[in-house]
Amino acid sequence: DAGVIQSPRHEVTEMGQEVTLRCKPISGHNSLFWYRQTMMRGLELLIYFNNNVPIDDSGMPEDRFSAKMPNASFSTLKIQPSEPRDSAVYFCASSNSDRGTGYTFGSGTRLTVV
């Protein structure tokens, strides 16, 4: 099993540009999470999908952020327009547990907005 696969690993973009982050969860996992990690705020949950349906997006900071999961093997997180304060490491995680007892995280996308 290749684990949770995220792309790109690094992204540098200019303020105002659109950024799309991609995630392939582990096959058979029915839950998918997008997290953002910064030194100041730690790991923050942005959005959670269950069986491809968004269940909780209360962590999405602004309307500039959107996420989709068109099928069980793919999800995207889009930021449009991007701002310097969006600079962070974005993690995707998947799980087959309904008790939150363990997620498998990808290696993350390090986003820098200049």
Site residues for another protein per CB under 8 A = 4, 31, 42-43, 45, 48, 50, 55-56, 91, 93, 98-108, 110
Shortest separation between residue 37's beta carbon and another protein, angstroms = 9
- Identify the burial level of 78 via C-beta atoms within 10 angstroms of its C-beta, where 0-12 means exposed, 13-18 middle and 19 or more buried: middle
Shortest separation between residue 107's beta carbon and another protein, angstroms = 5
Q: Which residues of 26-47 are buried (b: 16+ CB within 10 A; e: fewer)?
A: beebebbbbbbeeeeeeeeebb
Q: Which is nearer to another protein, 9 or 85 (CB)?
A: 9
Shortest separation between residue 112's beta carbon and another protein, angstroms = 14
